[in-house]
């Protein structure tokens, strides 16, 4: 839970930055709940880090991150879990330094300008996200800087996902959020500050790396990941391995948001992956029916693949 002191820190940081932070978030299903239990830190209170120099961004991250509050007293009784074996990841995104689609680039630039005015900003319950940690429960350093993106889908409607995130979840296994959600019409909903830790992938790792932040659970990528979820089409609500896919508007908005994150955090295209790939439990298959070719054309037009 974010304490009053953190709110004060974030407000203080606002004076150090040029623009407000705009990002996106969400995913999954849920029931409506009163705002009485929702955290009320809005995006107007969260400062956007300057893109240059990178040290400014890291300073902001250092201000809002912390050491794990659940320290292990006896490492013999509670040993640190072994790092999982690395699973190879061959990015579907190919290097492309020419043959850019100029009409696509112009369209995406126009969308970028519109998003500055049209992005919805909501607040969610504090049980569904937290700080990024610099030390794990065994007092070992862990890097809290976001350096990868995990793509998801909501599995239901946009409103259902939002209701889930606004719901108080006392059980750790039920807590969930993403940094970004993109609706069927390309609408972008901002929920979790990317400097904070969203609970998008529980038991997970990427290229043999995870971070254990709670000694009662195995590790996950959440401490160094950004999570983005696409709203599922109606024919995907009932399950199945595939559905009709995502709209052109969703791919446009996705490319614009990814371009922003890649610029802010120095994330390379090969570090954009899926929930299916990072999941260690073998239970996740999202985002189903994702077309990497659609993302290739757009990121190439934004010159992010060279």
Q: Within a domain: residue 232?
A: yes
Spatial CB neighbours of 115, under 8 Å, sequence gap ≥ 6: 22, 188, 253, 256
pLDDT band at 118 (very low <50, low <70, confident <90, very high): confident
Q: Within a domain: residue 149?
A: yes
pLDDT band at 2 (very low <50, low <70, confident <90, very high): very low
Quick one: pLDDT at residue 39?
30
Domain range spanning residue 249?
Answer: 4-8+23-71+86-301
Average pLDDT value for residue range 78-104: 92
User: Domain count of the chain?
Assistant: 1
Q: Within a domain: residue 128?
A: yes
Q: Within a domain: residue 214?
A: yes
pLDDT exceeds cutoff 60 at 33: no
Quick one: pLDDT at residue 61?
73
Quick one: pLDDT at residue 54?
55
Smallest CA-to-CA distance from 19 within 41, 40, 46, 53 is with 46
- Taking only Cα atoms into account, the Rg of the chain, rounded to an integer number of angstroms, comes to 19
State the alpha helices, DSSP H only, in the chain. 4-14, 54-64, 102-118, 158-166, 248-265, 275-278, 292-301
pLDDT in tens, 145-178: 999 999 999 999 999 999 999 999 999 889 999 9
Mean pLDDT of the chain: 83
Q: Within a domain: residue 95?
A: yes
3-state class of 297 per DSSP? helix
pLDDT in tens, 218-236: 999 999 999 999 999 999 9
- CATH number of the domain bearing residue 209: 3.40.80.10
Output the pTM of the full model.
0.81
Q: Within a domain: residue 80?
A: no
pLDDT in tens, 46-81: 333 333 445 576 677 777 777 666 777 766 678 888
Strands of the chain, DSSP E: 19-20, 47-48, 66-67, 120-121, 129-130, 133-135, 148-153, 180-182, 188-190, 197-198, 225-230, 272-274
Quick one: pLDDT at residue 239?
86
Q: Within a domain: residue 109?
A: yes
Average pLDDT value for residue range 119-129: 95
pLDDT exceeds cutoff 80 at 43: no
Q: Within a domain: residue 155?
A: yes
């Amino acid at each position: 839970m974010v304490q009053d002191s953190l709110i004060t820190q974030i407000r203080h940081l606002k004076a150090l930055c040029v623009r407000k932070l705009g990002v996106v978030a969400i995913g999954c299903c849920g029931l409506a709940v009163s705002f009485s239990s929702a955290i009320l830190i809005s995006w107007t209170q969260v400062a956007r880090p300057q893109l240059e120099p990178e040290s400014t961004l890291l300073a902001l991250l250092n201000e809002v991150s912390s050491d794990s509050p659940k320290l292990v007293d006896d490492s013999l009784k509670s040993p640190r879990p072994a790092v999982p074996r690395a699973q190879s990841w061959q990015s579907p995104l190919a290097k492309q330094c020419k043959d850019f689609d100029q009409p696509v680039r112009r369209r995406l630039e126009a969308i970028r300008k519109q998003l500055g005015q049209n992005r919805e900003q909501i607040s969610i319950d504090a049980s569904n996200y937290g700080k990024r940690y610099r030390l794990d429960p065994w007092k070992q350093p862990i890097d809290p800087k976001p350096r990868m993106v995990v793509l998801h889908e909501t599995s239901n409607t946009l409103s259902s996902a939002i209701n889930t995130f606004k719901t108080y979840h006392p059980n750790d296994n039920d807590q969930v959020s993403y940094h970004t959600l993109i609706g069927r019409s390309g609408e972008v909903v901002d929920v979790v500050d990317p400097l904070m830790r969203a609970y998008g992938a529980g038991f997970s790792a990427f290229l043999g790396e995870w971070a254990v932040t709670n000694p009662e659970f195995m590790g996950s990528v959440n401490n160094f990941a950004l999570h983005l979820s696409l709203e599922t089409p109606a024919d995907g609500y009932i399950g199945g391995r595939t559905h009709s896919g995502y709209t052109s508007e969703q791919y446009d908005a996705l490319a614009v948001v990814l371009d922003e994150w890649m610029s802010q955090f120095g994330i390379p295209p090969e570090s954009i992956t899926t929930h299916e790939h990072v999941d260690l439990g073998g239970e996740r298959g999202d985002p189903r029916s994702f077309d990497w070719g659609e993302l290739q054309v757009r990121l190439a037009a934004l010159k992010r693949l060279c």
